[in-house]
Chains A and B, each alone.
Chain A
Amino acid sequence: MSLTDGKKADISVELSGLRLDNPIIPASGTFGFGEEFKELYDINVLGSFSFKGTTREKRFGNPTPRIAECTGGMLNSVGLANPGIDDVIAHELPELKKIFKKPVVANISGFSIDEYVYNCERIDKEDQVGIIEVNISCPNVHDGGMAFGTSAKAAAEVTRAVKAVTTKPVYMKLSPNVTDITEIAKACEEAGADGLSLINTLMGMRIDIKTGRHILANKTGGMSGPCIFPLAVRMVYQVYDAVKIPIIGMGGVSTARDVIELMYAGAAAVQVGAANLVDPYVCPKIIEELPKLCEELGIEKLTDIIGRAHNN
């Protein structure tokens, strides 16, 4: 199959009124604030990117080692190491404006409803932020992040509290470490979320067989990479069935084919995370390959395929 008349596939997408040139968004934590990647390629080729999870206070994060590997992926227990919201607003965002000319996704994390509200209130005033992605799914911090994302009630509470202090689109980033992610998803939608981002990392552990000790100082860490991709496909599919709001899908995406697959499951845009650590050029490569792959598959407009697996 291929497109008629030598037409070029349209790979632009749209999220809550924000038009993106393509669906590719580097995931939070794998792209910093763009400083390192700008040395490798023009980051303006990206649809957007999600910057490092930002908390009220500056954080070193968890003790090292906080990276481990596994077959088909990796574990991290970085624990929201970030310069703190004051620094992000005073320094990182102005620097970003010089190198990235598109709206950015602000990933906001917290340890209390108050903190989420404080951070979102402040980030709401930043022009370049197009979407606020609320991280209620970090598995590496005690009482924060995932603690909110594993309870539908808590997730709804955070959603409501954040929506009250910003006019920007609010996307809740969900944890897969739950029995039924659709329950959390529906609660967020009911509480007013404009969209959802899923999945965050899966809780895992590695033990060194020479010493019998944990590889990660934090003992557990979040697993990511291609080994979790089918889990991401399943959960995006399930959530698409359960809610009407748009879904940014992620979890082990590393190729243009993965992007198409996740969009069939229901993703309106796609984040690429761990793959950036393996091949820093993965995103521009996917962006270049997508139109060709669409043409091969007879897809004229990428948005046509969103959720199309549900028709079968």
Chain B
Amino acid sequence: RMGCGFGACVGCSVKTTKGFKKVCADGPVFPADEVLEEI
């Protein structure tokens, strides 16, 4: 769920092997092996 949709509010963050990313600005698609989420 997103707040602003353009990277300002940090609501949609995801942990990746390359650090904290925002789904709205850096994604919404990420290489699966980079994402450090528990499903």
Contact residues of A with B, CB < 8 Å?
Answer: 29-32, 35-37, 52, 60-61, 64-69, 74, 76, 78, 81, 215, 276-277, 280
Contacts and interface: CB of A to CB of B under 8 A. Distances in A.
A74 B8 contact: no
29 contacts: A29-B9, A29-B10, A31-B8, A32-B8, A32-B9, A36-B7, A37-B8, A52-B10, A60-B13, A60-B20, A61-B13, A64-B12, A64-B14, A65-B1, A67-B1, A67-B2, A67-B3, A67-B12, A74-B3, A76-B11, A81-B10, A81-B20, A215-B1, A276-B4, A276-B8, A277-B3, A280-B4, A280-B6, A280-B8
A76 to B, nearest CB: 6
A78 B10 CA distance: 7
A73 to B, nearest CB: 12
Nearest to B10: A81
Q: Is the interface of B mostly helix, strand, loop or mixed?
A: loop
Nearest to A74: B3
A73 B21 CA distance: 25
Nearest to B6: A36
A61 B6 contact: no
Nearest to B24: A36
Given A276-B4, A280-B4, 18 more contacts: A35-B7, A36-B6, A36-B7, A36-B25, A61-B10, A64-B11, A64-B13, A64-B14, A65-B1, A67-B9, A68-B1, A69-B1, A74-B3, A76-B3, A76-B11, A78-B9, A78-B10, A280-B8
Contacts of A35: 7
Q: How large is the interface on B (under 10, 10 to 19, 20 to 34, 35 or more residues)?
A: 10 to 19
Q: Looking at chain A's contact residues, is the secondary structure mostly helix, strand, loop, or mixed? A: loop
Contacts of B2: 67
B8 A30 contact: yes
Given A67-B1, A67-B2, A78 B11 contact: yes
Contacts of A52: 10
A33 B1 CA distance: 22
Contacts of A29: 9-10
A23 B3 CA distance: 25
A228 B9 CA distance: 19
